Amino acid sequence: MDAGKQLAHAREVGVKTGVVLQKRLRNAQEAYTHRVQQAMGEDKAALAPAKWMAGLDPMNGYAYAVDSMQRAILFWDTIRERGNRFVENATHGLKPVLHFDYETVMDGRQFARPVNYALLKITPPEGVTIDDSRRPYVIIDPRAGHGPGIGGFKDDSQVGVAMRAGHPVYFVIFFRDPEPGQTLLDVCEAEQQFIRKVRALHPHSAKPAIIGNCQGGWAAMMLGASDPDDTGPIVINGAPMSYWSGAWSAGEGDNPMRYSGGLLGGTWLASLTADLGNGKFDGAWLVQNFENLNPANSLWDKYYHLYRKADTEPPRFLEFERWWGGYYLMNREEIEWITRNLFVGNKLWSGDVKAAGGKGFDLREIRAPIVLFASMGDNITPPQQAFNWVVDVYGSTEEIKARGQVIVGMMHRSVGHLGIFVSGKVAQKEHAQIVSVLKSIELLPPGLYGMVIHEHKRGDGLEYEVEFEEHSLEELAGRLNRFERVDEKPFEAVAALSDFNQRAYELFAQPFVQAMSSEASARMLREFHPLRVQNWAFSDMNPWMAWLKPAAEAVRANRQAMADDHPLRQQEQAGAEMLSAGLDAYRAVRDAMTEASFFNLYANLFSFLSLDKPSAPAAIAPQEPPEVRAALASVGEGGYTEAIARLACLLNRKGEPLPLSRLELRKELVTDYADFLPELPPDAWRKTRGQQELITRYAPEQALETLPVLLRHQADRQRLHALAEKLRTDERLLGTSPTAEQAAMLGRIRAVLSPKAGGGRAADAPRAGAS
């Protein structure tokens, strides 16, 4: 690119980012104005002059002053209690925040290559019965600054819904301090041992389901790719698998966290922080990054909510802060691996990340079904980051089918990142339905599905109905990435600059930083981190807080609460809402400026990087995918197994959602008619089914004509005939009727398999409803 084109490109980048910036700033102003107007005029009657005057008389003013002062004392006593719990937990090395009792099954600190991980078995609470023959669940929590336990934080949680469904539940936890020299690859090997142990404890159960939350989703996927023989279905919730992706448009919110690596200069800052920590990275810095994303909540909303409901809110506030205020450590090797391969390098999906044996993690090696759960309201892991790896790993829908893979996506409309894991409503609805789906998900035909949950009112409660809608990979890519992922190209410049800065730091600064650091200096830096200071500084360690406890006890004994709908209280709430709106407006402006700065810098740097790259080849006419060619080449190969799979594909209901009830019926039929079906592992059956689906889609006539070839043996024809007769008289299928398309296909199958056609008997085709 010559100088003229370079200048033209820079101008184009500036114009585009300027347009988006103006739009975002206008949206921020409109949102702020709207919230202020709502706060001032939401209840016009409450702001009427008569009520204002009634609220301003001396007696009401005195009552409000007493109430507000009492709430202030209760508020600060809760903050003091938070500090005390923080000091106590830190003194004892921090413990998981699990709501349930548990026993330790394996301790990774005792392994040949020790890691600070352990496998727990959750003890069922009173009234909950566990069936050890059911599929066990293994939940992996994120190690992203906080401690473990958020997946079992309360009764309505991932642990709770799985146990109430009768499943044994295991939990992978980690301790505060990493073992010397441990790496994330060591952690992956330890988790493989955990899974093998769970399988040994439940030899007659289906393979364990792996649930990965956020960063735990990476761990679950790495585990499934490196040990596919032992892992069952994988569920990853809010996991940023494709970190460069995100929304970028003039009308939608952006995802500021994906820009932080570039604006901080890449991975070197994580290395510097770990070196200052004497080889350990303080997870409090990651937590602070999370808090900075939402200053309104971090600085005001959560504290005002506690102050406003000082009589009832403290238990919930303290329970959540017990998890939020626990800061864990990582080795330098661990945080560098994460930043280089995931946050900046974005390499996990590409196969460039190597396992301990030197083999790359190929996500296509995962043979178990995968469920992806993301939310439109998540600005830490937007849906693009959760789903785009599928587009990157698989070349086409045909490849997904040929490999026998099942990928199910589910989208929440509004819940935030933490709500995916901690919300009781999400647990009761989405996670409970995921548990119900995992009982039968291995019988889904290979493909890419959207999971839809329908609500129905039944009496005083709600009932849920699950459906699966099949999609193509191309459709998914177009829906999520309306700009064809052009906005991801500047991240290649980020990666290049990050490598340069990292190398410069290692050459010129790291030796001096490491020489100056010691365990004493590292501990002092950790203790005086702002997030820790805000806890221990307001605990009983501070002698100036000694008066709070007796004062709070006196307040509780003589509480004079004012009604929440009192005019003075409503004025207080209106002021609090306006302050919150101001902080949200600041965040919107900050994020808009961050995004504009990022693209103005790195979009231009990327154009310099592309100077050395070869020009794109001329467009080539699309060809038939290699998976299709391979499938068609084997159209006449196989036997009974391939014939059953082909018949299922030919008689499948096309273009209709697949209700979970039909999938469960299919599971019942498979169990009851196991003697008539091929004896294959679920992953092998899905692969066969996927190949036959490609044959029936791309060569339907040839698929029909070669059916008798697959049933060349008399024993196979008799077995198929016996299966068809059983299905015809099965009461569960008597009420079903084939569609017109199925009926026509059924007639053609019978004709092909009729004795006159040289095939089997006319009755050899099974009932359409069985498919």
Q: Are residues 656 and 580 in the same domain?
A: no
Q: Are residues 444 and 363 in the same domain?
A: yes
Q: Buried b / exposed e across 105-134, counting CB within 10 Å, b at 16+?
A: ebbbeebeebbbbbbbbbebeeeeebeeeb
Domain boundary among 475, 501, 527: 501
Q: Do the beta carbons of residue 405 and residue 693 sit within 8 Å?
A: no
Q: Which residues contact 14 (CB under 8 A, 6 or more apart)?
A: 600
Structural domain includes residue 53: no
Q: Are residues 576 and 483 in the same domain?
A: no
**Displacement of CA 711 from its chain's centroid (Å):** 45
Q: Are residues 690 and 742 in the same domain?
A: yes
Structural domain includes residue 318: no
> Which burial class, exposed, middle or buried, applies to 254 when counting CB atoms under 10 A from its CB (0-12, 13-18, 19+)?
buried
CATH code assigned at 203: 3.40.50.1820
Q: Residue 413 is part of which domain span? A: 102-263+330-501
Query: What is residue 617's predicted lDDT score, i.e. its pLDDT?
Result: 45
Structural domain includes residue 97: no
Q: Are residues 643 and 594 in the same domain?
A: no
717 vs 372: CA distance, rounded Å: 41
Q: Are residues 596 and 659 in the same domain?
A: no
Would the pTM count as exceeding 0.85? yes
Q: Are residues 608 and 632 in the same domain?
A: no
Structural domain includes residue 90: no
Structural domain includes residue 523: no
Q: Are residues 494 and 414 in the same domain?
A: yes
Q: What is the pLDDT of residues 651-691, one digit of tens each?
A: 888 778 888 888 888 888 888 888 888 888 999 999 999 99
Domain boundary among 473, 501, 529: 501
441 vs 439: CA distance, rounded Å: 6
Structural domain includes residue 231: yes
- Unique residue bearing structure tokens 């009192």: 566
Tally of helices (H runs) and strands (E runs) in the chain: 34, 13
SS3 746: helix
Q: What's the longest Cα–Cα distance across the chain?
A: 103
- Unique residue bearing structure tokens 């008289």: 729
Structural domain includes residue 61: no
Q: Long-range contacts of range 21-29, CB-CB < 8 Å, 24 or more positions apart?
A: 21/592, 21/593, 21/595, 21/596, 23/250, 23/251, 24/250, 24/254, 24/588, 24/591, 24/592, 24/595, 25/588, 25/589, 25/592, 27/588, 28/585, 28/588, 28/589, 28/592, 29/585
322 vs 148: CA distance, rounded Å: 11
> Which burial class, exposed, middle or buried, applies to 729 when counting CB atoms under 10 A from its CB (0-12, 13-18, 19+)?
exposed
94 conformational bin, left if phi > 0, alpha if psi -120 to 50, beta if neither: left
Structural domain includes residue 359: yes
Task: Provide Rg for the chain, Cα atoms.
Answer: 30
562 vs 556: CA distance, rounded Å: 14
Q: Are residues 587 and 715 in the same domain?
A: no
Question: CA nearest 505: which of 273, 277, 244, 183?
Answer: 273
- Cα angle 184, 186, 191; round to 5: 95
Query: What is residue 621's predicted lDDT score, i.e. its pLDDT?
Result: 45
221 vs 341: CA distance, rounded Å: 14
Structurally, the chain folds into a number of domains equal to 3
Q: Are residues 579 and 636 in the same domain?
A: no
DSSP secondary structure string, 103-159? EEEEEGGGSSS--SEEEEEEPPPTT----TTSPPEEEE---SSS-S-GGGSSSSSHH
Q: What is the pLDDT of residues 201-248, one digit of tens each?
A: 999 999 999 999 998 998 999 999 988 999 999 999 999 888 888 865
Between the alpha carbon of residue 450 and those of residues 220, 270, 364, 367, 412, the distances in Å are 21, 37, 19, 19, 12
Phi–psi pair at 589, nearest 5 degrees: -65, -45
Give the residue ranges of the chain where pLDDT is below 50.
Answer: 45-46, 250-251, 614-621, 760-764, 769-770
Question: CA nearest 108: which of 176, 172, 201, 203?
Answer: 172
720 vs 765: CA distance, rounded Å: 7
Q: Given CA atoms 431, 173, 188, 287 in this order, what sign does their dihedral have?
A: positive
Q: Are residues 608 and 653 in the same domain?
A: no
Instruction: For helices 490-508 and 268-276, give the axis angle rounded to 10 degrees.
Output: 40
Q: Buried b / exposed e across 389-417, counting CB within 10 Å, b at 16+?
A: bbbbbbeebbbbbbbbbbbbbbbbeebbb
53 vs 105: CA distance, rounded Å: 66
Question: CA nearest 234: which of 137, 309, 320, 308?
Answer: 137
Q: Long-range contacts of range 421-424, CB-CB < 8 Å, 24 or more positions apart?
A: 421/150, 421/151, 421/153, 421/157, 421/158, 421/213, 421/214, 421/237, 421/238, 422/150, 422/153, 422/154, 422/157, 422/320, 424/154, 424/156, 424/157
523 vs 517: CA distance, rounded Å: 10
Q: Are residues 763 and 721 in the same domain?
A: yes
Domain boundary among 471, 501, 531: 501
